[in-house]
Structure 1
Amino acid sequence: MNTQGLIYGYWLSGPDKGGEINVPDLDETLQSKENHWLHFDYTNEQARDWITNHSGLDTVVVEALLCDETRPRASTLNNGVLMALRGVNLTPGSNPEDMVAIRVWIDAHRVISTRRRSLLSAKDLASNIANQEGPETPGEFIAVLTDRLIARMQETIQETEDRVAVIEEEVITAESYALRSEIADLRRQAISLRRYLAPQRDAMIQLQSEKIPLFSGDDRLRLRETTDHLIRYIEDLDSVRDRAAVTQEELVNRLTEQLNNRMYMLSIIAAIFLPLGFLTGLLGINVGGIPGADNPYAFTIFIIMMTAVVALQIWVFKARRWF
């Protein structure tokens, strides 16, 4: 649809259930007692104007629906519920942790939602409603929407868990420094996802704890199940974050150990050649009286002497278990 900022407009109940609501009918729709859903792109000036001046919503609700940045939350106001929710960004080429926000207001007969970027969960809902398989009440709409938002997170979180499992295996066998940046990206993704899912969990729990007449018993049951899934996903993200931190520590320890071993070997080699350098330097000075200067076998004797010194050093190092 996407005309004058109206992305989706559908009747949820009544004789026109599943039918579209067009822009010219918006003002008339507000007078209807049939349940309906209006979904806007709040960056559109005409959509902002209608929500501000024609929707009849409270100023607080209008500001929340048109706000650029918002954390997940749920609030009751004037016999309605204002919610801000987040879903993973599944747009091709985007980062899943760059979560997409949707703001929703529900009251007795209407659902008004806004977004800036496309959200597949809203698209799923619109398709179901158009096929007359969607929710029929505002309370059921919220229950279905939250369920779709959480369901679409499952694949992203599962992929994150699989990635950390693969990295854990690679740390055991690989010695690549590239794993450090991959683990850092994984931790950043888990932290970013949890940043929005934690307050969304609190919002869902608040919906269940408050006695809101807009939600039926079935709606509350579905919200409870959705909240349980969300809590499990947050626990999975906590596990991923902790496993990534432990894996990063193990990788750093392995790399540090490798560096220390190499430095230790270099120190041993330097210790072996230190007396040899002293002897060659001592006998290489250009002054009179150097022993063996006129002896044709002096060089051979000197080589044998240095070999003996090296052998003695190696025996001492091994006796002290230095290597």
Structure 2
Amino acid sequence: MTTLAEPKTPNMPNSVLWAYKISETATPVTEDLNELAQTDQPQGFRWVHIQADSPDSMSCLQSLGLKEEIVEALCTSETRPKALLFGDGMLIYLRGINRNPDADPEDMVSLRIWLTKDELISARRKDRKLLSLMDVKTEIDRGVVPDTPADLMLDIITKIADRISETVDLLDEELTEFEAQEQSTKHDRLKLSNIRRQAAAIRRYLAPQRDALDAIYRFNKSLTQAQMFELRDQTDRMTRYVEDLDLAKERAMVLQDELRNRIAEQQGMRMYVLSLVTAIFLPLSFLTGIFGMNVGGLPGTEEPKAFTYLTVSMLLLAIVLLLAMVWKKWF
């Protein structure tokens, strides 16, 4: 999969992946960090995206004027989706589908966001590119510029939801294919277990992410009516995806039960056939065992046609047993 390169400039700290000054247009920052730290713009806002685990990430964030607790929150190693108010801003943790090469979709990428009325600062870990964020950046480069940091946040949430939608739809299509199959192989059963594991792993983060979006809706009083409507729509989408993943888990469990029942039924049928064959040949084996004994006094030892009589008798006995099983509806 081809991804866009993250621009770097010689005068920027290594932790800064990209930075924009956004007003009516988006201007990439190509100068030093001091220019980026300026906040006395008459209009517009700034968007800074950093690598949170870079050695100079904390000093970079401090130079942007962030408080110590915000800097530590953006650089923390472990996160779960949530939204918290800090003074005049909001700290938001989100998770997006991992679409990096050779990555599992359920290994979701963490995105940290600091949102105020005049800036949005986002952070991610090394080698954990979030393609949903790259989609937003591509739109900005093409001239689709958000009006406020809240609009930029909603664009990011929407792109994250779009990627989640693709993954949930893919799981649904795979389950539909399994439901249409009449026979399954060992590989299919392993794949079904993998689908169930993916659905459970993705849902683990989507449920708290739905609550995080709901917290933004309830606590962020600076949102406009249109922004609140869009945020509520995205929250409803997350709720629907959580429900779809719950349904996918249940469908996978039902399919696994059906596969186990089908395998058990096949094994039971084979054992049943073997039991019927054994029931037919058991008396025949008894007769061959008796007449095969090398002892004196056996009947027919002096009779030339004794073997023919015994063979015909065994054949008739087998036919009688077979007819009796058919009459008993054992077949």
Q: TM-score, normalised by structure 1?
A: 0.91
2:112·2:124 contact (CA, 8 Å) conserved in 1? yes
Query: Alignment RMSD, CA only?
Result: 1.9
Unaligned runs of 5+ in 2: 1-6
Letter aligned with residue 111 of structure 2: I
Q: Note the 1:127-166 alignment, pairs <5 A.
A: 127-166=138-177
1:9·1:36 contact (CA, 8 Å) conserved in 2? yes
2:206 corresponding residue in structure 1: 197
Write out per-residue CA displacement over residues 93-113 of structure 1, whole angstroms, 9 at most, x where no aligned residue.
322222111100112322111
Q: 1:245, CA displacement in angstroms?
A: 1.5
Q: 1:309, CA displacement in angstroms?
A: 1.6
Which of these residues, 93, 97, 111, is aligned with residue 102 of structure 1?
Answer: 111
Unaligned runs of 5+ in 1: none
2:37·2:64 contact (CA, 8 Å) conserved in 1? no
Distance 1:32 1:124, change over 3 A: farther
Q: 1:19, CA displacement in angstroms?
A: 0.9
1:88·1:153 contact (CA, 8 Å) conserved in 2? yes
1:185 corresponding residue in structure 2: 194
Q: TM-score, normalised by structure 2?
A: 0.89
Letter aligned with residue 312 of structure 2: I
Q: 1:60, CA displacement in angstroms?
A: 3.2
SS at match of 1:40: strand
CA distance, structure 2, for counterparts of residue 310 and residue 237 of structure 1:
57
CA distance, structure 1, for counterparts of residue 274 and residue 34 of structure 2:
79
1:292·1:298 contact (CA, 8 Å) conserved in 2? yes
1:12·1:129 contact (CA, 8 Å) conserved in 2? no
Distance 1:28 1:155, change over 3 A: closer
SS at match of 1:191: helix
Distance 1:28 1:18, change over 3 A: closer
Write out per-residue CA displacement over residues 219-277 of structure 1, whole angstroms, 9 at most, x where no aligned residue.
21111111122222222222222222112211211111111000111111111111111
Letter aligned with residue 223 of structure 2: F
2:37·2:63 contact (CA, 8 Å) conserved in 1? no
1:9·1:38 contact (CA, 8 Å) conserved in 2? yes
1:280 corresponding residue in structure 2: 288
CA distance, structure 2, for counterparts of residue 26 and residue 215 of structure 1:
29
2:48·2:121 contact (CA, 8 Å) conserved in 1? yes
SS at match of 1:70: coil
Q: Please say if 1:254 is aligned against 2:262.
A: yes
1:12·1:134 contact (CA, 8 Å) conserved in 2? yes
Q: 1:176, CA displacement in angstroms?
A: 2.7
Q: Please say if 1:174 is aligned against 2:180.
A: no
Q: Note the 1:16-95 alignment, pairs <5 A.
A: 17-22=25-30, 24-26=32-34, 29-33=37-41, 34-51=44-61, 53-95=62-104
2:16·2:51 contact (CA, 8 Å) conserved in 1? yes
SS at match of 1:152: helix
Distance 1:175 1:145, change over 3 A: closer
Distance 1:213 1:222, change over 3 A: same
CA distance, structure 2, for counterparts of residue 24 and residue 110 of structure 1:
18
2:18 corresponding residue in structure 1: 8
Q: 1:8, CA displacement in angstroms?
A: 1.3
CA distance, structure 1, for counterparts of residue 249 and residue 36 of structure 2:
51
Q: 1:175, CA displacement in angstroms?
A: 4.4
SS at match of 1:128: helix
Q: Note the 1:297-308 alignment, pairs <5 A.
A: 297-308=305-316
Q: 1:70, CA displacement in angstroms?
A: 1.1
